Amino acid sequence: MTASPVALRSTLLASSDFAAHDRVAALREFFGREVMRADFWSHDNAGGKFDFRTRITSLGLDTVHVYAHHTPTHLWRSPALMQDGCDDVLLYACSSGLVLRTQSHEMAVPAGSIAVVSKAREYQGITPKGGPSVCLQVPRRHIARLVPGLEEAPLRVLLPGAPGAALALAYAELLSANPALPAPQQVLATTHLHELMASALAPALRPGTAPQHESHAPSRLALIRYDMQTRLGQSSLTLEAIARRHRLTPRQVQRLFAAEGTCFSDELRTARLDRAHALLTDPAKRHLRMIDIALDCGFAEASTFNRAFRRRFGAAPSELR
């Protein structure tokens, strides 16, 4: 029996959902206390303006991905809140940079860098210029089993290009945006996400050499396929580009497809042609010119599109209208 897709639990929340006088208090209670386990308020740099939108997604295995777009904010994991015993490890980044403050340190986390911080310590996270920002929260036990000797409360700043961290955030975003993985694959995908995060905390572990299992292949391939679907119109969508995005070699990507009896180029061509077919048969898209459809589906030339379409569907694109 084929496993049913699992629906990830996502919550969308915005300051505009609340009356102006309740916004900060409401978001402090739900986003601050419930999600981040921290106090939360608008930073002075916001100049009295408070705009906050977030998507919170549970990825399973007590792992949570948070994306937010916001005016300047201030988080504080206070000693009082630490009494909850939560020891989640966070990957935390802001596109405009952030400041991470502890009892003994104040660290700048510039744009492109990623902070590693634990809820087992008191800390303040300040975004003086606002978001977007992203956070991946994983219980320490999941990372500790992969990183022997992991400190009780990690605190680090990973510079741009740090192996594993950026890829972990990218994978978390893909998982958050794709709620249709079968339940067993969802567990494997989240486990692989933990491995990527571990590779950021233990430099000896690199993506591709972290603890692996053959059963991770379907989840990796599912994410690659989803990534391809979102980029079909890009002429730069190549095997090499996909491999770079997923921190694999082109040969490793080819092996993932080969295990299912196909190859990257065939899958890409089929996906582009299927998209073109859907556009051509959609009455709401009749206003689109053939060349527009070809370009939207990643074909640089109408002649190439026409030949490929006829081979797949036995008819020219114009015959479907």
Instruction: Transcribe 169-200 into DSSP letters.
Output: HHHHHHHHH-TTSBHHHHHHHHHHHHHHHHHH
Please report the beta strands in 232-319, taking only residues with DSSP state E, as ranges in sequence order.
Answer: none
Would you state the torsion angle of the CA atoms of residues 129, 131, 136, 137, taken in this order, to the nearest 10 degrees? 60
- What are the pLDDT digits (tens) for 62-81? 999 999 999 999 999 999 99
- What are the pLDDT digits (tens) for 150-185? 999 999 999 886 767 887 898 898 888 875 567 888
Model confidence at 214, pLDDT cuts 50, 70, 90, reads low
Neighbours of 266 (CB within 10 A): 11
Q: Which residue has the higher pLDDT, 143 or 166?
A: 143
Model confidence at 206, pLDDT cuts 50, 70, 90, reads very low
pLDDT of 247 higher than 80:
no
- Domain residue spans in the chain? 9-262, 267-320
CATH of domain 267-320: 1.10.10.60
Average pLDDT, the chain: 89
pLDDT at residue 205, as a whole number: 47
Answer yes or no: are the C-beta atoms of 96 and 49 closer than 8 Å: no
CA distances from 311 to 181, 300, 317 (A): 31, 18, 11
Q: What is the mean pLDDT of residues 46-65?
A: 95
Domains 9-262 and 267-320 agree in fold: no
CA distances from 97 to 41, 104, 142, 158, 170 (A): 18, 20, 27, 13, 18
Model confidence at 204, pLDDT cuts 50, 70, 90, reads very low
pLDDT of 319 higher than 80:
yes
pTM here is 0.74
pLDDT of 123 higher than 50:
yes
Tokens linked to 152: 């009780």
- What are the pLDDT digits (tens) for 260-298? 999 999 999 999 999 999 999 999 999 999 999 999 999
Q: What percent of the chain has pLDDT over 90?
A: 71
Model confidence at 2, pLDDT cuts 50, 70, 90, reads very low
pLDDT at residue 203, as a whole number: 63
pLDDT of 130 higher than 90:
yes
Kindly report the CA angle at 219 between 217 and 225, in degrees rounded to 5?
100
From 1.20.1740.10, 2.60.120.10, 3.10.50.40, 3.40.50.1370, which CATH number describes the 9-262 domain?
A: 2.60.120.10
d(CA 160, CA 92): 13
pLDDT at residue 82, as a whole number: 97
- Which of 67, 73, 30 has the alpha carbon at shortest distance from 49? 73
Q: What is the mean pLDDT of residues 299-316?
A: 94
